Chain A
Amino acid sequence: GAGVSQSPSNKVTEKGKDVELRCDPISGHTALYWYRQSLGQGLEFLIYFQGNSAPDKSGLPSDRFSAERTGGSVSTLTIQRTQQEDSAVYLCASIPTGVRSYNEQFFGPGTRLTVL
């Protein structure tokens, strides 16, 4: 079956522009995560959606970052007024329905964002 997909795979933008990154989780997965992976760094948690609950936005680095999840499926991460330090790979992951503590996360291939 289809895995987690992300688009675009690569995005080059100019400083100050807004960008939107899209994540299509595996169908039926109720939990969705966004992470950021900077060059040579580990995974930085950004935001978490679980069903209809209010998302946990505690990892968003600034108010220029926002995310939404429509209809409990597709999610969009928006970065406004991009800065060079926003350059990173943005990863999306989802977890199946009936979340249990041992369920693995299924990762998408990521979107590589480069801010010039």
Chain B
Amino acid sequence: GDSVTQMEGPVTLSEEAFLTINCTYTATGYPSLFWYVQYPGEGLQLLLKATKADDKGSNKGFEATYRKETTSFHLEKGSVQVSDSAVYFCALRVSGGYQKVTFGTGTKLQVIP
């Protein structure tokens, strides 16, 4: 079956540090890949997405590149801010008749001033 594996958190960084949150996947078909973010007290919202190999999704300074050869979709940001503190979820969705989305367990990021 489909699965998503994320690095365990929590991740604690100082402001302006470089961020990487690893995400790898297994899929029975050809997936689209997503990163969702959940800020404290809020619902999940889409951060970025990529629909085919070598695509790069980007938003709010975050980037992730769809690497089919390594089945990875690592999230990166060059300089984190306190406001980036949240839980980040990697997810995949395989096209076809069944549109089930598979989420990773989430990685909590805490950025300290």
Contacts and interface: CB of A to CB of B under 8 A. Distances in A.
Interface string A35-59: 1000001110100101000001000
Contacts, number: 57
B43 A105 contact: no
B77 interface: no
Given A50-B99, A100-B95, A42 B106 contact: yes
Nearest to A45: B100
A48 B100 contact: yes
Contacts of B98: 50, 56
Interface residues of B, number: 25
A78 B85 CA distance: 33
Interface of A: 31, 33, 35, 41-43, 45, 48, 50, 56, 91, 93, 95, 99-102, 104-105, 107-110
6 contacts: A35-B103, A42-B89, A42-B105, A101-B51, A101-B94, A105-B44
